[in-house]
Amino acid sequence: QSVLTQPPSTSGSPGQRVTISCSGGDSDVRINVVTWYKQRPGTAPQLLIYSTNKRPSGVPDRFSGSKSGASASLSISALQSEDEADYFCAAWDANLMAPLFGGGTRLTVL
Amino acid sequence: QVQIQQWGAGVLKPSETLSLTCAVHGGSFSDFYWTWVRQPPGKGLEWIGEMHHSGHTKYNPSLKSRVTMSKDTSENQLSLELRSVTAADTAVYYCARVVEEMDDAFDIWGPGTTVLVSS
C-alpha cells in the first residue's frame, strides 16, 4: 500500500511554531486537496484541516495547511502541550482511486 | 451531536470472516457517505472503502476481493465484512462520516474496534 511521506517525528517547545511536511506525487498531492488529522494515543483520529487549508469549526487558527506542488504542510503556531499527538495527512490518489494516508508524524511538545 | 457506536468480534482465527457494525446516533445517516479505515498496531491509517447514499460502494483495490460493505438505513447502521483474514488484518477498525462539502474529509469518527487475528 503506497503512502504519502511524512517525517516520523518532530518536536517543539511551548510557544514555538512547528511545521510537518507531507510529500506525495503527481497522482495525489499535486492534483488533489490534502486533509490533515490529529490522533492522540488510544483515541480515534479527528479532522484538523480539510481542502488543503480550511479549518473545521472548533479548530484553532493556530493550525494552518498549505501546499506547493506535490508537497503539503501543516503548521502549528504557539505550540501547546495538548498539541502533542500523531498527525496524518491524506490525499486522493487518482491512479489507485483511493485516498492515501501519510505514515504519520509524532509531535512531542518539550 | 452525532455519535458513532461500533461493535463486532474482537478475536478471529486466520481464514475467518471479520464482521463489524457501526451505528450512527443523533444525526442524518442518509445524507452522508460513510467509510471504514483501519490502523494496524503502531502504524498509519489505511482506507478500506466507502458507502454512498445510493448504496454504491467503493473499495480499496488492495482489499476489494475480500471486502463487502452494506447499510441498514432504517437502523442507521453500516456494516463491514472482510473475508479470509490473516494476521495482517490485525488492526483497529474505524467507521467515519464522509463530508462531500469538505472535499470528502472524514469529520466524525467512531471510537474504533480492535480486531486481533491469531491462531
| Secondary structure (DSSP) of A49-77 | EBTTTB--TT--TTEEEEEETTEEEEEE-
Distance CA A91, CA A97 (A): 11
Kindly state the average pLDDT of the residues A76-104.
Answer: 96
Residue A10 has pLDDT above 60, yes or no: yes
Average pLDDT over chain A, rounded to an integer: 96
Predicted local confidence at residue A9, as pLDDT? 97
- Cα A88 to Cα B9, B41, B79: the distances in Å are 27, 15, 25
Cα torsion B82, B36, A69, A4 to 10°: value is -50
Q: Name residues whose C-beta falls within 8 Å of residue B52's C-beta, 6 or more positions apart in sequence.
A: B33, B58
For the segment A48-70, what is each residue's pLDDT rounded down to a tens digit?
A: 999 999 999 999 999 999 999 99
> To the nearest whole angstrom, how far is the Cα of B111 from the nearest Cα of chain A?
6
Query: In the prediction, which pLDDT does B20 show?
Result: 98
Quick: pLDDT tens for B55-64: 899 999 999 9
Interface check for B44 against chain A (CB to CB < 8 A): the answer is yes
Res. A2 pLDDT band, cuts 50 70 90? low
At residue B73, does pLDDT exceed 90? no
Residues above pLDDT 90, as percent of chain B: 86
* pLDDT for the residue B64: 96
* Chain A interface includes B47 (CB < 8 A): yes
Amino acid (1-letter code) at residue B42: G
pLDDT in tens, A14-33: 999 999 999 999 999 999 99
Q: Under an 8 Å CB criterion, which residues of A touch B?
A: 1, 3, 33, 35, 37, 43-47, 50-51, 54, 56, 88, 90, 92, 96-104
- pLDDT at res. A3: 84
Cβ–Cβ pairs < 8 A, chains A and B: 63
Choose the closest CB to B109 out of A1, A45, A104. A45
φ, ψ of residue B74 in degrees (nearest 5): -65, -25
d(CA A63, CA A84): 13
Q: Categorize the per-residue pLDDT at A4 as very low, low, confident or very high, splitting at 50, 70 and 90.
A: very high
**Looking at the partner chain, which of B46, B62, B106 has a beta carbon nearest the beta carbon of A47?**
B106
Question: In the predicted model, what is the mean pLDDT of residues B90-112?
Answer: 96
Instruction: Supply the pLDDT for residue B97.
Output: 96
Q: In terms of CA atoms, which chain B residue is nearest residue A43?
A: B111
Do A35 and B62 count as a contact with CB atoms less than 8 A apart?
A: no
Number of H helices, E strands in chain A: 0, 9
What mean pLDDT value characterizes chain B?
95
Specify the higher pLDDT residue, B52 or A61. A61
